[in-house]
Structure 1
Amino acid sequence: MADNALGRFLRARREATTPPAGTGRRRTPGLRRGELADRAGISVEYLTRLERGTDRSPSGQVLASLADALAMTADERVHLYRLIKAGSTCAPAPPPPLRPTLLAVLDSLSPAAACVLTPSGDVLACNEAFRAISGMGEERNLVRFTFSPEAKAHYPDWDRIAHDRAAALRAAADLGDHAAAVLAFELSITAGATFTDRYDAAAALPPATGTERWGPALLVFETLHLPGEGEHRVMVYFSQH
């Protein structure tokens, strides 16, 4: 991370945050380090290392606590995550191409909506029916979409769907899926407690079949696990009238 961008951003947000009422005159603007450290539940020494750039690898929990303590907006949380991501030298390997026969199966399932998902929720392929009803737009990860503002408007039963998709991500991360662990780290910062409360509480696998409401549509879904590497799965959504 060039030139300690993370530390500069944290310090700038701290100095721009209004201090508690009744704390008297100050020589510097905003919160003192001790005040922010108390709010975030970390030590002053650790916050100092973060701001000075001597520690550039904080955990997602620490970053989420700092984002909460600084009352960061959704855009600021995304920027905070991007600062961490910019400092990483590890580029994910591109997924192998899907078999043409599998793509043909997706198309043949219309008018049912269908997609191929990785364990972390990346949509590797989908048919036109899925694109038309999913509400995802340009987003290509079903779990990330679930914890976006757009999803809360798209899913009438958002709380249940969010619980199930956080549980699916937790299961994948617990089984060693690197992409799932990286996405959980990202969402712990960008979505905060909305995500982490559900992720940390996940105690069971999500259902492989059931119903979900997407907009006005009530859909029955089935999960089909694909043979071979990658542990990919096909999700098929049928309209229920």
Structure 2
Amino acid sequence: MDDLAGFLRTRRSRVDPVTVGIPTDRHRRVQGLRREEVAHLSGVSVDYYVRLEQGRATQPSEQVLDALARVLGLDDTERGHLYRLARQRRRPAKTPAARLRPELLRVLDLVPHAPALIMDHRLDVIAGNRLAALLYGRPLPGLNTARHIFLEEPERGLYGEWEKCTLDVVGHLRLAAGKYPDDPRLASLIGELAMGSDRFRRLWARADVRARTHGPKTYHHPLVGLLELHQENFALPDESGMELIILSAPPASPTEDGLRLLASLTPTPQTPHPTPTTRVRE
């Protein structure tokens, strides 16, 4: 699903030669750095770097990876992704199983005034509270937020900043593909999104990676209007690949009023009332 060679090529193409001390003129036709320039700046042979980009060199050393990350200007998220891709053939990560302890399900019930849900690395919703189901306007079992954003709500509907959401989703799935390259369900999801969405295909080709742990999240709910929430992601232990996500509203804000109104609504036949905690089938 993802590979070291492709990641190096896309990162190389985005480096401005001037920023690494290489003069340019109007005759330069290469976007970003040339292979030989990356090799020289990284202190490796041109032949070795070419083999890296062709997928013929395996197990680069930590020193080589550190040098490449420096030359390519990788941030912490991209640097971690680079190391995972380089280690794939040595020690592939085992795909985690999405199983929840009953104690975690009880945690969701203890958050009655904010949408709270648990997602896995594929962005499948594993469980959620009543307010989360009312926010999405549908039962949570079977909901995949990547599919929802790209195939069910494209450029309209629930998501206030749809384009930014798509960047976050693709960046997350890139990270997941690098960590779990042998996950067939993840590969199937990526293929489905690529077949169904031109925007997904364009963003996926950029090979950007993103790790979002908190930040604003805006929704346009059809019943209660604008909801300007704050999202916090909490990684669950035991390397499960799952996260607890809580969407909170500032105290005494219009959004807090909106959530209170949403919680008071009786679900319609189109929005079935979920049980206090819901779970997808394995």
Identify the TM-score tier after normalising by the shorter chain. 0.5 to 0.7
Structure 1, residues 210-229: CA drift from partner, whole Å, max 9, x if none? 01111110110001001114
Deviation of 1:232 after TM superposition, in Å, equals 0.8
Where in structure 2 are there 5+ consecutive unaligned residues? 1-94, 221-225, 254-282
- In structure 1, what is the equivalent of residue 203 of structure 2? 198
Partner residue of 1:157 out of 156, 161, 184: 161
Partner residue of 1:225 out of 231, 235, 241: 235
- In structure 2, what is the equivalent of residue 4 of structure 1? none
> Is residue 165–residue 206 contact of structure 1 (8 Å, CA) maintained in 2?
no
> Is residue 222–residue 236 contact of structure 1 (8 Å, CA) maintained in 2?
yes
2:179 paired with 1:184: no
> Is residue 117–residue 127 contact of structure 2 (8 Å, CA) maintained in 1?
yes
Aligned partner of residue 230 in structure 1, secondary structure: coil
> Is residue 136–residue 145 contact of structure 1 (8 Å, CA) maintained in 2?
no
When residues 137 and 230 of structure 1 are mapped into structure 2, their CA distance, relative to the original with a 3 A threshold, is same
Structure 1, residues 159-178: CA drift from partner, whole Å, max 9, x if none? 00111011111110111251
Looking at structure 2, the residues matched to 230 and 133 of structure 1 have their Cα atoms a distance apart, in angstroms, of 26
Looking at structure 1, the residues matched to 239 and 211 of structure 2 have their Cα atoms a distance apart, in angstroms, of 21
> Is residue 170–residue 180 contact of structure 1 (8 Å, CA) maintained in 2?
no
> Is residue 98–residue 120 contact of structure 2 (8 Å, CA) maintained in 1?
no
> Is residue 229–residue 248 contact of structure 2 (8 Å, CA) maintained in 1?
yes
Q: Counterpart of 2:209 in structure 1: which amino acid?
A: A
Q: For 1:97-112, list aligned pairs within 5 A.
A: 97-112=99-114
- In structure 1, what is the equivalent of residue 275 of structure 2? none
- Structure number with the bigger relative contact order (C-alpha 8 A, sep ≥ 6) is 2
Looking at structure 2, the residues matched to 224 and 182 of structure 1 have their Cα atoms a distance apart, in angstroms, of 26
Looking at structure 2, the residues matched to 238 and 176 of structure 1 have their Cα atoms a distance apart, in angstroms, of 30
Q: TM-score, normalised by structure 1?
A: 0.56
Q: TM-score, normalised by structure 2?
A: 0.48
When residues 132 and 202 of structure 1 are mapped into structure 2, their CA distance, relative to the original with a 3 A threshold, is farther
Runs of 4+ in 1 over 4 A off after TM superposition: 93-96, 136-139
- In structure 2, what is the equivalent of residue 210 of structure 1? 215
Where in structure 1 are there 5+ consecutive unaligned residues? 1-92
> Is residue 103–residue 125 contact of structure 1 (8 Å, CA) maintained in 2?
yes
Identity %: 26
> Is residue 98–residue 126 contact of structure 2 (8 Å, CA) maintained in 1?
no
Aligned partner of residue 232 in structure 2, secondary structure: strand
Structure 1, residues 13-32: CA drift from partner, whole Å, max 9, x if none? xxxxxxxxxxxxxxxxxxxx
Structure 1, residues 91-141: CA drift from partner, whole Å, max 9, x if none? xx9955411110010111121111111101010000011101124556511
Q: Counterpart of 2:205 in structure 1: which amino acid?
A: D
> Is residue 114–residue 246 contact of structure 2 (8 Å, CA) maintained in 1?
yes
Looking at structure 2, the residues matched to 224 and 199 of structure 1 have their Cα atoms a distance apart, in angstroms, of 25
Aligned partner of residue 109 in structure 1, secondary structure: coil
When residues 207 and 110 of structure 1 are mapped into structure 2, their CA distance, relative to the original with a 3 A threshold, is same
